[in-house]
Amino acid sequence: MFAYVARQAILDRDKNVLGYELLFRDGKQNCFPNVAPDEATPKILASNHLTLGLDEITGGKLSFINFYEDTLLYRFPTSLDPMAVVIEIVETAPISKELLAACKHIKQLGYRLALDDHDFDPKWDVFLPYIDIIKVDIRESDYETIKKHVPKFLDAKVKLIAEKVETYEEYELYRDLGCHYFQGYFYARPEVIKQKNIPNNKLSLLELIGESAKSEMNFDRINDIIERDVALSYMLLRFINNPTINKRNKISSLRHALNYMGEVELKKFIALLALANLGDAKPMELLQVSLIRAKFCELLAAHRHDPENPPKGFLVGLFSLIDAMLDREMTNLMENLPLSDDLKAALCGEKNNLLFYLELAKTFESANWARTRKLSQSLKVEQKVLHGIYNQAVVWSNAMRQSIG
């Protein structure tokens, strides 16, 4: 059975990833809106923990998982590692003495409990002694209402997650209000509107990206650019000496590394390392999402037998958040990068296969399975193949992040 899974990051006040909320369904039913919610969580978790294992999905971070009434009453969360998960009690669960007793028991076993989409209804107050985290949807509750209730939760030593935080201004607003964690796409948006100059060292990195995107690589030129940046040279050598990448040969010099990798792989990894440096002042989750998208689009392009040199599938995913990393408009950036026309077009939102690959990756991030199905049919790729590709991309991105982090 394939595990249909999406993950949405939850960041702390410093924009570091605390964990991921996992959203999943079962088999072909994912394509339809009438999946019984009480069936989704136990079925998928019982199937080898999402095929990959929770740690593989989250890279060792916390897993936030929705549980409904029946799954809580039957103590289903107790099959999971209490150190690795947060049990989210959905807002639609009916209040009962049995549910309260189940939550109390689960809490006593060492699990962390969260109230999902909390609407401040006082009927949930009886649960507060057992609750560690409360999630508040800022689209459903207005600022003044949230502000009114924050002191009560802080007094109870309960952490607050602001959900659906879509702008940097909203992040700052709810951070200043006292929220501890944030979920939404604010980290993927530019933090300022005014245009900023790109520092010289980052201009060199953009130059490196441009060289790696050419159909024929100039090894001497690449070597010269990397040699000017000690940190980049070190990261490239450390990356290639990682046993997950290179199990047989010890790389002793920069030129040895360039020759060893081979042209196509070297283009991908140079772009990856350059992007890691470009986003060094941004939340690490931006790079993580870029890595997943890059590998997903690369594997999808290979499955459809697209040409590999330059590796356009990989590059369209990897560069898809470069505007957020540099606080620049994508169209402005594309004017200064020597990428191919179809790559630039896709990154600027013009329809072509590369854009469809990127859109497919985004459907997994938002668990938009109906859109996944539509795009899979358009590209003539079986949906189960796409889920396998996405799982591979998540595992690969976790390894890459450790190599360059």
Instruction: Enumerate domains of the chain plus CATH numbers.
Output: 3-188 (3.20.20.450), 200-404 (1.10.3210.10)
Q: Look-up: residue for tokens 């358009």? A: 378
Please report, as a single letter, which amino acid is at residue 17: V
Please state, as a whole number, how many other Cβ atoms lie within 10 Å of the Cβ of residue 326. Answer: 20
For the chain, how are helix, strand and coil distributed in percent, rounded to 5?
A: 55, 10, 30
pLDDT for the residue numbered 338: 66
The CA distance from 346 to 35, in Å, is 34
The CA distance from 340 to 213, in Å, is 8
pLDDT tens string 385-398: 998 899 899 888 88
pLDDT tens string 268-294: 777 777 777 766 667 788 888 998 999
CB 322 within 8 A of CB 330: yes
* Structure-derived torsion over alpha carbons of residues 80, 83, 85, 87, reported in degrees to the nearest 10: 90
pLDDT for the residue numbered 200: 45
**Beta partners for residue 23, in sequence order:** 6
- Angle in degrees, CA 278, 244, 324, rounded to 5: 20
The two structure tokens encoding residue 215: 């159909």
pLDDT tens string 204-221: 677 777 777 676 778 888
* DSSP one-letter string for 93-111: SPP-HHHHHHHHHHHHTT-
pLDDT confidence bin for 48, thresholds 50/70/90: very low
Angle between helices 263-278 and 230-240 (to 10 degrees): 130
pLDDT for the residue numbered 213: 67
Please state, as a whole number, how many other Cβ atoms lie within 10 Å of the Cβ of residue 127. Answer: 18
**3-state class (DSSP) for residue 18:** strand
The two structure tokens encoding residue 151: 């002191």
pLDDT tens string 70-110: 778 877 777 788 999 999 998 888 899 999 999 999 999 99
Please report, as a single letter, which amino acid is at residue 284: M
Reported in sequence order, the residue ranges of 96-255 that DSSP labels E, i.e. its strands, are 112-115, 133-137, 159-163, 181-183
**3-state class (DSSP) for residue 173:** helix
Residue 133 has pLDDT above 60, yes or no: yes
- The overall average pLDDT reported for the chain is 80
pLDDT tens string 302-335: 999 987 767 889 889 988 998 888 778 888 888 8
The CA distance from 6 to 397, in Å, is 15
Query: What is the 3 state secondary structure string of 45-97?
Result: HHCCCCCCCHHHHHCCCEEEEEECHHHHHCCHHHHCCCCCEEEEECCCCCCCH
* Structure-derived torsion over alpha carbons of residues 289, 290, 296, 298, reported in degrees to the nearest 10: -170
CB 44 within 8 A of CB 222: no
The two structure tokens encoding residue 112: 């962390």
The CA distance from 367 to 356, in Å, is 16
- Angle in degrees, CA 43, 46, 49, rounded to 5: 115
Residue 42 has pLDDT above 80, yes or no: no
Residues 6+ apart with CB under 8 A from 211: 217, 218, 221, 222, 225, 270
Length of the chain: 405
pTM for the complete prediction?
A: 0.72
What percent of the chain is modeled with pLDDT above 90?
A: 36
The two structure tokens encoding residue 210: 């441009």
Residues 6+ apart with CB under 8 A from 337: 206, 209, 210, 213, 344
The CA distance from 133 to 111, in Å, is 12
